[in-house]
């Protein structure tokens, strides 16, 4: 593997970790908000 390839794969790994962290943070925040809404009795009727 050339030096250029190492740089590219490292950049892909950093991007993957960053996007994974954003997805995880979003899902955790969504669960927290849904829990708060349910506690307040404001959930939507379906």
How many CB atoms sit inside 10 A of residue 46's CB?
3
Alpha carbon distance 39, 2 (integer Å) = 56
Q: With cut-offs at 50, 70 and 90, classify the pLDDT of residue 44.
A: confident
Instruction: Name the CA radius of gyration of the chain, rounded.
Output: 19
Residue 3's pLDDT is: 80
How many domains does one find in the chain? 1
Task: Report if residue 11 sits inside a domain.
Answer: yes
Distance CA 26, CA 23 (A): 5
Establish if 12 belongs to a structural domain.
yes
- Indicate whether 46 belongs to any domain: no
pLDDT in tens, 14-37: 999 999 999 999 999 999 999 999
**Considering the domain boundaries, does residue 44 fall inside one?**
no
pLDDT exceeds cutoff 90 at 46: no
pLDDT category at 43 given cuts 50, 70, 90 is confident
Range of the domain at 24: 1-38
> Which pLDDT tens digit goes with each residue over 5-14?
999 999 999 9
């Amino acid at each position: 593997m050339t030096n250029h390839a190492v740089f590219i794969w490292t950049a892909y790994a950093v991007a993957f970790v960053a996007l994974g962290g954003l997805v995880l943070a979003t899902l955790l925040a969504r669960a927290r908000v849904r829990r708060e809404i349910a506690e307040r009795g404001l959930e939507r009727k379906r």
